[in-house]
Amino acid sequence: MHTLSERRIDALFWTAAVLCLALGAGTAWGTFRSLGSRAARLGEKRAELAALDAIAHDAAAVEQARAALAALPQQRPADLDAVRRAAHSAPAPADTRETRVALSGGWVLRRRELDFESARLADVLELAHAAERSGLDERGAVRPPWRLTRVVFRGAPGEPGRGRVAIRLDALERSATP
């Protein structure tokens, strides 16, 4: 038969068990309820992190380009006047302007604009082609190339393919150690 102390122990044990169950059920219910909102918040945060990843992906393209340029043996573009002189059919420009824009990491954007009063568009494009090839030799790319970034042509009446031509060539140059 149960003695008083055994009954007391049983009662204590049951009380502890029921309290534990109630606490566990309450905590589980609270957690279950909070998990719903937490899951939604986690979803939002994952989406925000994915947005940052997408931004990082776009930014990485610039870094890759900078790294590729930095890896070239020479970081100065070819002399454009020398290129023009080497191309025998290239017309002489009536006007030449160059601007420089400082970029990060010691790089500079060189922008050369050439105006031709009366030239064949094909000859001017031939000059641009030579300028773009000036960064290459038989081993491949050795220096930053000139790139044609703008062409404006005003045709002369009755002379197809000839007229006033303006072109813009851009190249990057590393002027100094950053």
Q: Kindly identify the residues of this chain, within the stretch 45-84, that bind other proteins according to CB under 8 A.
A: 45-46, 48-49, 51-53, 55-56, 58-59, 61-62, 65-66, 68-69
Q: Minimum distance from CB of 29 to other proteins (Å)? A: 8
Token pair of 129 as six digits: 């082609």
The rounded Cα 58 to chain-centroid distance in angstroms is 5
- Does the footprint of other proteins cover residue 115 (CB under 8 A)? no
Contact window for other proteins (CB under 8 A) among 43-51, 82-90, 92-100: 43-51
- Does the footprint of other proteins cover residue 8 (CB under 8 A)? no
Which of residues 4, 5, 8, 42 is near other proteins by CB under 8 A?
Answer: 42
| Interface mask toward other proteins for 90-109; x: CB under 8 A | -----------x-xx--x-x
- Does the footprint of other proteins cover residue 38 (CB under 8 A)? yes
- Pair type for strands 147-156 and 140-141: unpaired
90: number of Cβ within 10 Å: 20
What secondary structure does DSSP assign to 72-136, as a single string? SS--SPPPHHHHHHHSTTPPPPSEEEEEEEE-GGGEEEEEEEEEEEEEEHHHHHHHHHHHHHTTE
